[in-house]
Amino acid sequence: MKILVANRHLKGLGGSETFTYTLICELKKQGHDVEYFTLFKGIASDKIEAMGVPFLKSADYDFAITGQVSTV
């Protein structure tokens, strides 16, 4: 399944950033094709990209998981 995970900011390593990172790790482990989106990149997004997860390449997803205020 192609999944987009979005979080308003991924600057630091707080609660929502850590949750987003952990969620993406688990989705990849289960074999899903995962991409991410954020308005503010930083430490957490660097760690996500280091896992090989790209920043919003597509516009076609089977499922989107979004959190925090307005992200998309």
As a whole number, mean pLDDT of residues 34-58 equals 95
The model's pTM:
0.87
pLDDT of residue 13: 85
Percent of all residues in the chain with a pLDDT value above 70, rounded to a whole number: 93
What is the chain's mean pLDDT, rounded? Answer: 91
For the residues of 3-47, what is the DSSP string, one character each?
EEEEESB-SS-SHHHHHHHHHHHHHHHTT-EEEEE-SB-SHHHHH
- 2 touches 61 (CB < 8 A): yes
Rounded Cα distance, 56 and 37, in Å: 6
Is the pLDDT confidence value at 10 over 80? yes
Distant-in-sequence, close-in-space partners of 57: CB < 8 Å, separation ≥ 6? 35
Is the pLDDT confidence value at 31 over 90? yes
As a whole number, mean pLDDT of residues 30-53 equals 96
